[in-house]
């Protein structure tokens, strides 16, 4: 027993030092990888186990799955910041840190010396190699859990795949197919023509009321803005600057946030290489920047406004229509989309709801005590799956998030929830989703990226 404990402690130490993934690493509260917001790589949050999921007396009938694209490159504007500002900060760090210290070890200094901004604007938002592997691995594991639904033999009648009008979701769909069928067959998979404003995959782009009342409403980001300008964050930026021995007032909040985001991206891109920018932050710093991220997504995509999740009823209706269909085919519907969609859909299902709203004033209460953490629930390749089962003639639903079984609020004491019970809970007396009424009968004519694409 003692040997096992020492092995676990040793592995935890290795996780922190060498930035390894895995279940043990991802559960270590002292690992900075746990606080990277929506740029968190899936390897830190996903369930990497294999094995069939079965319940006595139940047979699987259909699966509906929605998946965020895998790890990607930053946006055009963020690449500009990386290319222009970070080299200046790097040079300042090296100028004022010529020997190893408690903050910057020799390995950190060497990493800064080698570091350069290598991204080109033409590569903005493209799926990365890590993103490819994320989707392949998810598909392989889900196939092992539900082999009768996710067969390794492709048929256009058995599968319905769809992605948004973006390179990162298109490629994510392809690599998911690679995980199911292999490379040769994946090249032959058919997909419908993508739409920039898909009514299921990007329903919020068709919701004029959400755009005007939430996305473009300054109040939506007021908590995030206030927290970013708070004495706490000002103190954190000053402490970062002091630890790096930088000249007074040479580091701004925007600089620190760029460093934090670069730490996140570079952690996502390379599994076994620590980004030098991560060395600038303590765990408490990381938690504060993670909360700064959560204040954005909570109010724009989560529970901050009822409209955020109410409009996601279109996705629920799609599930109901698919499960209600008398046809046995397709057996699997798999959508590839963005974090804005996933977070709204999960909020519609009542997952990860806070007892109190996240605000700029309750960081101390919520820092280690909240379930709405995008690092965990909205990482790259985040996925939500609903499985229809026939349990001795009674239709029931099994839900999985990040490939782990989760209990829906409609049945908080059971993995399996009756289909009719689920309908009553989420629909109430409403027969169908009144999307036009919810969204003020308007259609947004603009064509802007969704909220997860600002970096």
- The domain that contains 280 carries what CATH number? 3.40.50.1240
pLDDT score at 27: 55
Residue 288 belongs to a domain: yes
pLDDT score at 131: 98
- Concatenated DSSP letters for 271-316? TT---GGGGG--HHHHHHHHHHHHHHHHHHTSTTSHHHHHTTHHHH
Residue 8 belongs to a domain: no
Residue 26 belongs to a domain: no
Tell whether pTM > 0.85. yes
Q: Which of 6, 79, 93 is nearest to 266 (CA)?
A: 79
Q: Which tokens go with 231?
A: 């004495």
Q: How many domains does the chain have?
A: 1
Residue 287 belongs to a domain: yes
Residue 144 belongs to a domain: yes
What secondary structure letter does DSSP report for 192? P
Burial of 290 (0-12, 13-18, 19+ CB in 10 A): buried
pLDDT score at 210: 98
Residue 18 belongs to a domain: no
Cα-Cα end-to-end distance for the chain: 46
Question: What CA–CA distance (Å, rounded) separates 389 from 75?
Answer: 41
Divide the 455 residues of the chain into consecutive groups of 10 and give the mean pLDDT of each group: 45 42 50 95 97 97 98 96 96 95 92 92 96 98 98 95 98 98 97 94 97 96 98 98 96 98 97 94 98 98 98 97 95 98 98 97 96 98 98 98 98 97 89 91 49 60
Domain span at 210: 31-453
pLDDT score at 455: 82
Give per-residue burial for 216-233: e unless 16+ CB within 10 Å, then b: eeeebbebbbebbebebb
pLDDT score at 454: 61
Residue 11 belongs to a domain: no
Question: What CA–CA distance (Å, rounded) separates 188 from 174?
Answer: 10
Residue 412 belongs to a domain: yes
């Amino acid at each position: 027993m003692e040997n096992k404990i020492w092995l676990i402690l040793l592995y935890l130490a290795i996780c922190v030092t060498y930035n390894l993934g895995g279940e043990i690493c991802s559960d270590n509260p002292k690992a900075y990888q746990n606080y990277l917001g929506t740029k968190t790589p899936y390897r830190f949050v996903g369930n990497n186990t294999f094995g069939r999921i079965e319940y006595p007396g139940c047979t699987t009938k259909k699966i509906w799955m929605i998946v965020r694209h895998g790890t990607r490159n930053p946006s055009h504007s963020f690449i500009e910041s990386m290319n222009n500002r970070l080299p200046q900060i790097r040079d300042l760090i090296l100028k004022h840190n010529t020997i190893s210290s408690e903050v910057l070890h020799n390995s950190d200094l060497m990493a800064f010396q080698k570091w350069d901004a290598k991204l080109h604007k033409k590569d903005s938002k493209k799926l990365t190699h890590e993103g490819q592997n994320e989707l392949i691995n998810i598909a392989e594991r889900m196939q092992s859990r539900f082999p009768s639904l996710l067969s390794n033999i492709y048929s256009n009648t058995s599968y319905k795949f769809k992605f948004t009008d973006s390179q990162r979701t298109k490629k994510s769909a392809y690599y998911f197919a690679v995980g199911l069928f292999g490379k040769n067959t994946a090249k032959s998979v058919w997909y419908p023509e993508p739409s920039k404003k898909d009514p299921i995959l990007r329903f919020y782009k068709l919701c004029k009321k959400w755009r005007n009342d939430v996305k473009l409403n300054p109040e939506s980001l007021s908590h995030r803005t206030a927290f970013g300008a708070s004495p706490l964050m000002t103190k954190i930026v000053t402490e970062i600057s002091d630890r790096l021995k930088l000249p007074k007032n040479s580091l701004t909040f925007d600089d620190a946030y760029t460093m934090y985001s670069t730490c996140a991206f570079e952690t996502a891109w390379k599994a076994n290489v620590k980004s030098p920018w991560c060395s600038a932050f303590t765990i408490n710093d990381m938690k504060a920047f993670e909360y700064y991220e959560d204040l954005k997504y909570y109010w724009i995509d989560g529970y901050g406004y009822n409209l955020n999740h109410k409009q996601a009823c279109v996705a629920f209706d799609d599930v109901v229509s698919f499960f209600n269909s008398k046809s046995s085919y397709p057996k699997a519907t798999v959508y590839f989309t963005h974090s804005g969609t996933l977070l709204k859909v999960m909020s519609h299902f009542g997952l990860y709801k806070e007892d109190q709203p996240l605000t700029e004033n309750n960081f101390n209460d919520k820092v280690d005590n909240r379930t709405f953490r995008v690092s965990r629930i909205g990482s790259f390749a985040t996925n939500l799956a609903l499985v229809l089962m026939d349990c001795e003639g009674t239709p029931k639903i099994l839900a999985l998030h990040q490939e782990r079984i989760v209990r829906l609020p409609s049945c908080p004491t059971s993995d399996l929830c009756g289909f009719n019970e689920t309908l009553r809970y989420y629909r109430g007396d409403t027969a169908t989703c009144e999307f036009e009424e919810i969204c003020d009968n308007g259609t947004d004519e603009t064509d802007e990226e969704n909220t997860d694409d600002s970096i």
